[in-house]
Amino acid sequence: SQLLYRYGIAPNRFQPITLFTYPFFHDGFGHLLGNCFYLWVFGSAVEAAVGKTKYFALFLAGSVVGGFLQWLVCATILNSDTNSIVGASAGCAALVGLFAVRYYRSRLNFVGLPFRPHVVTVVGLFLAWEIGSAIYHLVSGATASGVANWAHIGGFVFGLGMAYLLKLDTQGRSAYLTDDAERAMNTSLPGAAIKRWELLLSREPNNTSAMKELAKAWALLGDTEQASIWFLQAI
């Protein structure tokens, strides 16, 4: 309890350094395992999209933003004197926002579920629950039974904004266009592949790999003139 008080965010005793320390402390194994679950579902994919250094920086920055918002609400509106706020959930919520923008077509594989829910559905339910709970406890003057809803909201919104600043939406569209085009080629549908490659090139006009694959698709259709044009363009 002394460690949590020293390194957590206390609504009645704000110390800026605790914004950087509170994510690394949890008030029980259940709390820790819950956040590890978020990291397991969303973390590795976000790390693959942004790299290790940015991944940690975004996680920590999301924790700072979410923690500050939670402190601000507790200290000014709720006038709360609850125990110190600890846990990595705000940083994990930031990863959820980043994941939702980059992998917007993904379906999530949760242990025990017989189906794979779409990421937009999961994120929508997550956000609706957090906002609903936060507003309810704000109106009623309660403290959400120790659940830092405002930290989750702040972290998620931060992650969402950073995803667009880092152009992860563009990265995601390009990756999905590439996947669709390759799938069309593998199923002998060069016409469909051509549409995808051309759309990708309209977004990335210097993508030589897309030019080469577009030439292959035209060649498969028997149009050697178009194939030659795109092969030369790629060279």
Query: Tens digit of pLDDT for each residue in 70-84?
Result: 888 888 877 665 668
State the average pLDDT over residues 87-92: 93
Name the residue type at position 163: A
Instruction: Please say if the pLDDT value at position 28 is more than 70.
Output: yes
State the average pLDDT over residues 167-182: 94
Instruction: Please say if the pLDDT value at position 32 is more than 80.
Output: yes
Instruction: Please say if the pLDDT value at position 194 is more than 90.
Output: yes
C-alpha 170: how far from its chain's center? 14
Q: Read off the pTM.
A: 0.86
Query: Tens digit of pLDDT for each residue in 122-140?
Result: 889 888 988 888 887 777 7
Position 99 scores a pLDDT of 95
In this structure, which long-range contacts are made by residues 160-163, counting pairs with CB atoms below 8 Å and at least 24 apart in sequence?
Answer: 160/97, 160/98, 160/100, 160/101, 161/97, 162/58, 162/61, 162/62, 162/94, 162/97, 162/98, 163/97, 163/98, 163/100, 163/101, 163/102
Instruction: Please say if the pLDDT value at position 176 is more than 90.
Output: yes
C-beta of residue 91 within 8 angstroms of C-beta of residue 66: yes
Rounded Cα distance between 122 and 133, Å, is 16
In which band, very low, low, confident or very high, does the pLDDT at 48 lie, cut at 50, 70 and 90? very high
Q: Over the chain, what is the mean pLDDT?
A: 89
Rounded Cα distance between 115 and 95, Å, is 23
Position 144 scores a pLDDT of 47
Position 73 scores a pLDDT of 86
- Tokens at 213, concatenated: 């694959």
Beta-bridge partner residues of 10? 13
